[in-house]
Structure 1
Amino acid sequence: MKFMTTYDLMETARNTNQWFGATARALGSYPAVAMVPSPLFRMVAAWGEVTERAFARMVAKPDWNINTVVGADGRDHIVSVEKSVTRPFGDLIHFKVHGRPQMRRRVMLVAPMSGHYATLLRSTVASLLPDCDVYITDWHNARDIPVSEGKFDIEDYTLYLVDFLKHLGPDTHVIAVCQPAPLALAATAYLAEEEPAAQPRSLTLIGGPIDPDAAATDVTDFGRRVTMGQLEHLVIQRVGFKYAGVGRLVYPGMLQLASFMSMNGDRHTRAFSEQILRAAKGEAGDHDKHNRFYDEYLAVMDMTSEFYLTTVDRIFKRGEIARNAFSVNGRKVDIAAITDVAVKTVEGANDDISAPGQCIAALDLLTGLPDHKKASHLEPGAGHYGIFAGKSWRNNIRPLVLDFIDANSGDPQPARAHLKTV
């Protein structure tokens, strides 16, 4: 499978389907066909509209679309997205709120590199922005990174987090969502030994696979069934000629998307069928619920092959974080070295990706951390998405996380504003 031909064939198929959709939409939208007493052409146009949009989103990077935030003074403050640290495989970006006094809480969100862009955490950012000075890791699409930039695996990812934390300084609170939770824990332990003064004040791990063997899911079962050789043969391809990363070995975003959608195929089929009917009736909107969700869900990015394969091998198969046996550049990272960074884990009771038990395992590894600096929360009824972006996050988890930040910020009088972003 390691051929540019297979990558380019996928892109050709995507591009062709986008073209079919655009053609059908145009054909069904001619004024002349409106005179035909049949709903056929309206259905053709609706199918084309939904199809074109869906296949176009697969190669588009979503915008943040966070324009303003209401401050404590009651005024709208403009928000701009600025790069604080620039690296070949990912940047640290800052949501700068103009004209607002310096916030007491500085938060670094660690976004997952698991097929979607960091904008998957858009609602998480929007909910934190009124109360915090927010930074986030913005990982780049591997297809756009020239081969000359070298490799990027989980050790490089960990060192990126170390550099970002050194840049922000010690008065930082880290929130790691899903996939990066074990590597955020490793980066903190790395700093504990190398540069303790640069450690964050607190670390919140949300739905991450610290110990994948603690609770089985479809993800962990797949990791056990498939050998590394099979995995490499099945999913790794070379970027085709269309992109700057031509020749780079990647796990293509469109293959990842096919895997995501196959897990809930019936639900996705029903969602698109209903959207076509709504479009035919004139009830669909450019930013309706369906389009808001799928504009983000369908926007996928390629991962470097070495990052994907080392994640499966070292985190899931060999359990290096769970066994406290992870190393970076040949140097063992001892999680027990964390002695004064408060750590909180958050899990969803109905999480079918990182099941309850996988994330809270981090607390058992922190043998050098006093119990009063450890905390955990299990959210009843919440699935994977809900614990960082859904109703459970908004109503229950977010206030708990902010309270945890305040309790470990050194501020004797914590206060939280309840504001809104636009």
Structure 2
Amino acid sequence: MRYMAAYDMMEAARNTNAWLGATARTWASYPATAMVPNPMFKMLAAWGEVTERSFARMVVKPDWNIPPITAHEGHDMLVEPEVEISRPFGDLVRFSVSGRPPRTRRILLVAPMSGHYATLLRSTVASLLPDADVWITDWHNARDIPVSAGKFDVEDYTLYLADFMKHLGADLNVIAVCQPAPLTLAATALLAERDPAAQPRTLTLIGGPIDPDAAATDVTDFGRRVTMGQLEQSMIQRVGFQYPGVGRMVYPGLLQLSSFISMNAETHGRAFRDQIMAVARGAASDHDRHNRFYDEYLAVMDMTAEFYLSTVERVFKGLEIAQNRFIVDGHQVDIGKITSVAVKTVEGGKDDISAPGQCVAALDLLTGLPDAKKASYLEPEAGHYGIFAGGSWRRNIRPLVLDFIDANSDDADAAPKRRRGRRAAATPAPEALGDGRIAV
């Protein structure tokens, strides 16, 4: 598997399916077919449309498309993503709101590097922007990074996070979503030892595998069953000649996507069958619920081989974070050195990726942090996606996170800010607003 031919064959299969979909859609849409009263042509065209869009979107990075924010005065303030720090493997991106003075709340969202782009957190960003200035880690697709840029593993990832937090300053509030939670905890501990003044004010860990052994899932079971040699042989490929990262060893996004879909194959199959029927009836639209979700879900990126393998070996198999013996740049990080950063964990009761118990384990590692600065929350009916981007996030978790940030703020107007946060939580979800704007 560790050859360019394997990578190119997978890309060729994706491209062929996109071509088959386009061909079926075009052939079945000729005017002459309208003279034949056979629903087969409508079904074939619908199948082609859904198939073409599904396979074509797999290699396209989605746009942020954050809707404008409506100020109290009634005018719209445009939101533009701006690269504040550019690095070979990821950027620090700020969402600039035109005409708005700086907000007291300053939030860094640490996006996962687990197969999807940072745009997976688009709705999370949109829900926080009315009440905070927001930055995000925008990781690059490994296939587009030349081999000359060097390696990128869990230690490099942790150092990137420490640099981003140090750049943004001590009045920062960090929210890590899913995969980066353990490495964000390690980066905070690294700052606590090396540069205490650069530590963030609060750290919120959402659905992250701090201790994968705390609760079993299909993900942790897979990590236990296979050896590192088997993973390297079966999952790692070289980028083909089509991309700038030609020759780089990666865990391909298309391979990761097949794993995602296989975990809920029946649900995805039903969703695509229903969408084909909707298209055939003329009931689908370009931005309907199905397309909004799958435009993001199917857009995948490659991870560097060293990042993928070191994550499995050190975080899941070796439990280096869970056992507080993680080493970064030759230095063993001590999570117990965190003594002033307020830490909150959030878990979903129906999370089948990072099951309840995995994330809250972080609080036991914080031996130097007073109990008053520790908090945890379990959303009983939420799955993995819902705890950071779904209805549970908007209705329950987001207001609690903002309250947690305010409760640990030394700003004099923290109480008024908490009241604003609760009002904003009652605002309809961004996608539910008729004109596409976010009300402040």
Do the two structures share a fold, i.e. TM-score over 0.5? yes
User: Aligned AA for 2:117?
Assistant: Y
Match of 1:290 in 2: 290
Match of 2:433 in 1: none
Match of 1:217 in 2: 217
Match of 1:328 in 2: 328
Deviation of the 1:274 alpha carbon: 1.0
SS in 2 for 1:58: helix
SS in 1 for 2:43: helix
Deviation of the 1:147 alpha carbon: 0.3
Alignment partners' CA distance in 2, 1:396 and 1:138: 26
SS in 1 for 2:2: coil
* CA deviation vs aligned residue, 1:229-257 (integer Å, no higher than 9, x gap): 00111110000000000000000000000
SS in 2 for 1:84: strand
* CA deviation vs aligned residue, 1:266-292 (integer Å, no higher than 9, x gap): 111111111111111111100011111
User: Aligned AA for 1:43?
Assistant: M
Alignment partners' CA distance in 2, 1:175 and 1:216: 24
User: Aligned AA for 2:3?
Assistant: F
* CA deviation vs aligned residue, 1:351-387 (integer Å, no higher than 9, x gap): 1111111101100000001110000001111111111
Match of 1:26 in 2: 26
Matched, 1:155 2:155: yes
Of 16-25 and 406-415, more deviation after overlay is shown by: 406-415
Paired-residue identity, %: 73
Deviation of the 1:67 alpha carbon: 3.3
Alignment partners' CA distance in 1, 2:268 and 2:354: 22
Query: Which runs of at least 4 in structure 1 moved beyond 3 Å after TM superposition?
Result: 419-422
User: Aligned AA for 1:11?
Assistant: E
Alignment partners' CA distance in 1, 2:391 and 2:66: 19
Match of 2:190 in 1: 190
Deviation of the 1:13 alpha carbon: 0.7
Matched, 1:206 2:206: yes
Aligned residues: CA RMSD: 0.9
SS in 2 for 1:399: helix
Matched, 1:300 2:300: yes
Alignment partners' CA distance in 2, 1:335 and 1:210: 12
User: Aligned AA for 1:317?
Assistant: K
User: Aligned AA for 1:391?
Assistant: G
Match of 2:362 in 1: 362
Alignment partners' CA distance in 2, 1:152 and 1:71: 41
Alignment partners' CA distance in 2, 1:76 and 1:146: 40
User: Aligned AA for 1:9?
Assistant: M
Match of 2:68 in 1: 68
Match of 2:107 in 1: 107
SS in 1 for 2:134: strand
SS in 2 for 1:203: strand
Deviation of the 1:413 alpha carbon: 2.4
* CA deviation vs aligned residue, 1:153-183 (integer Å, no higher than 9, x gap): 0000000001101111111000000000000
User: Aligned AA for 1:288?
Assistant: D
**Between Structure 1 and Structure 2, how many residues are aligned?**
422
The answer (yes or no) to whether the contact 1:67–1:80 under 8 Å persists in 2 is no
Match of 2:339 in 1: 339
Mark the runs of 5 or more structure 2 residues left unpaired by the alignment: 431-436
Deviation of the 1:72 alpha carbon: 3.4
Alignment partners' CA distance in 2, 1:72 and 1:92: 29
Match of 1:118 in 2: 118
Matched, 1:280 2:280: yes
Match of 2:169 in 1: 169
User: Aligned AA for 2:112?
Assistant: P
Deviation of the 1:71 alpha carbon: 2.3
* CA deviation vs aligned residue, 1:110-160 (integer Å, no higher than 9, x gap): 000000000100110010000000000000000000000000000000000
Q: How do residues 240-251 of structure 1 correspond to structure 2 at under 5 angstroms?
A: 240-251=240-251
Alignment partners' CA distance in 2, 1:160 and 1:70: 34
SS in 2 for 1:316: helix
